[in-house]
Amino acid sequence: MSPNSGQTRLLIYSHDSFGLGHLRRCRAIAHSLVDNQQGLSVLILSGSPIIGSFDFRSSVDFVRIPGVVKLRTGGYTTLGLDIGIEDAMAIRETIIRNTAEVFNPNIFLVDKEPLGLRGEVGDTLEMLKAKGSRLVLGLRDVMDDPGKLTDEWERKMAIPALRDIYDDIWVYGLPEICNPLEGVGNIPKSVEDKLTYTGYLRRTSVPSVNPSSMSGTGIQEPFILVTPGGGGDGASLVDWVMRAYEHDPDIPHQAFIVFGPFMHIDQQSDFKTRAERIAKIHVATFDSNLENLVSRASAVVAMGGYNTFCEILSFDKPSLIVPRTVPRLEQYIRASRAQELGLVSMIVDDGSRDPNEMARAISELPTRPKPSEIHLPGLLDGLSTINGIVDQWLNSPQSIEPALRVVPGDG
């Protein structure tokens, strides 16, 4: 690894065109590593417009790059700046490369997109590889339907990057639940040999300098937490839950609904008006420390994104997952497999949103089995596994113990 005057530096890239998933995953990894590794500094490159709303540990900081958002057509547009997308991407690429050149990281961790959004980290990867930085791609447990992912990665020239540029690929999950590359065409064995299944990323409840979103709502425990993650595509889940409480006022549990910061303001306004007429529902827009809410809830209703799934497992909550199925099948694939294993229950929104079905599912939820009743070795070992890998790299930069690697088919 390249020397940094005795310092150890990790650079994390999180493109964050929409939602909170990438940022929250990268933040959890950064905090765990600085707690474990004395003298480590972590810098996160992120396009999230609300990254400043989160607390960061000492030795962790961020660089905000101009935000972009994906359109339904598949293209992108700028978020905040009144400039063309090509100019925005050029600014992002320049900031990323210049930051990497000055920060000179020992390790560069790229979240999900092998070459970054529209290839924006390609030059930076080549530059850091020449300098001797360790290059790592981090993948969540489920990416998408294999056919769609094959087409996407062929279009983005991802496979050559996995084969020729990256040193390691971390999968934040277990092969017993999902192999994100299963069924993806043209994956060479040399790429499979780079895979390490870390286990899921355990979350903990920590004090926050920001007041809880529950403050002043009047809600008391026990309650069911309803979270559509970032909320940009979560209106259908919130509507279905509200329909259930409107239809059946005898549902025995209070519900606390956190809309998410990206839910459209008009949708939030409509839901707030409806909630005022439902005694057992309380609402909030956003909470940067959702872990505390999950830990206090008696059960969780969610769309089933990666981070929420980790929190459900970490805090051992009976959960009902209502996965989205467009534009990606990621949540549906994860929820289906987790339901097969008994970790969660699932219902699918077919468009009708039968209030009876949701009311029944919510009423039964707190008495359903907890995830801990299903024994999967290493299920929540993700952060400790990553800490161990980085420890070995820093103590013996030229090698990594083979025992830490788990390739598909090894169980």
Given 3.40.50.300, 3.40.190.10, 3.40.50.2000, 3.40.309.10, which CATH number is that of 223-373?
Answer: 3.40.50.2000
pLDDT band at residue 326 using 50, 70 and 90 as cut-offs: confident
Tell me, letter by letter, the H, E, C secondary structure of 295-333. Answer: HHCCEEEECCCHHHHHHHHHCCCCEEECCCCCCCCHHHH
Predicted TM-score (pTM) of the model is 0.89
Q: pLDDT tens for residues 34-73? A: 999 999 999 999 988 888 888 899 999 999 999 887 766 6
pLDDT band at residue 82 using 50, 70 and 90 as cut-offs: confident
Q: Give the CATH fold of the 8-202+380-404 domain.
A: Rossmann fold (3.40.50)
Question: How far is Cα 397 from Cα 34, in angstroms, rounded to an integer?
Answer: 18
Residue 41: predicted pLDDT: 97
Q: pLDDT tens for residues 366-381? A: 899 999 999 999 999 9
Residue 213: helix, strand or coil by DSSP? coil
DSSP code, position 112: S
CA distances from 264 to 17, 191, 231, 267, 370 (A): 16, 41, 8, 5, 33
**pLDDT beyond 50 at 3:** no
Residue 226: predicted pLDDT: 97
Higher pLDDT, residue 215 or 189: 189
Question: How far is Cα 205 from Cα 138, in angstroms, rounded to an integer?
Answer: 24
Fold match between domain 8-202+380-404 and domain 223-373: yes
Q: Please state, for a pLDDT cut of 90, what percent of the chain lies above it.
A: 70
Q: pLDDT tens for residues 193-247? A: 999 999 999 998 876 555 567 766 667 789 999 999 888 889 999 999 999 999 9
Query: Residue 75: what are its φ and ψ, rounded to 5°?
Result: -85, -175
Question: How far is Cα 37 from Cα 119, in angstroms, rounded to an integer?
Answer: 31
256's enclosing H/E stretch is strand 254-258
Question: How far is Cα 23 from Cα 9, in angstroms, rounded to an integer?
Answer: 18
Average model confidence (pLDDT) across the chain:
89
Q: What is the mean pLDDT of residues 75-102?
A: 91
In the numeric block, the tokens 């279009």 are attached to: 155
Residue 17: predicted pLDDT: 60
Question: How far is Cα 303 from Cα 309, in angstroms, rounded to an integer?
Answer: 9
Domain segments of the chain: what residues? 8-202+380-404, 223-373
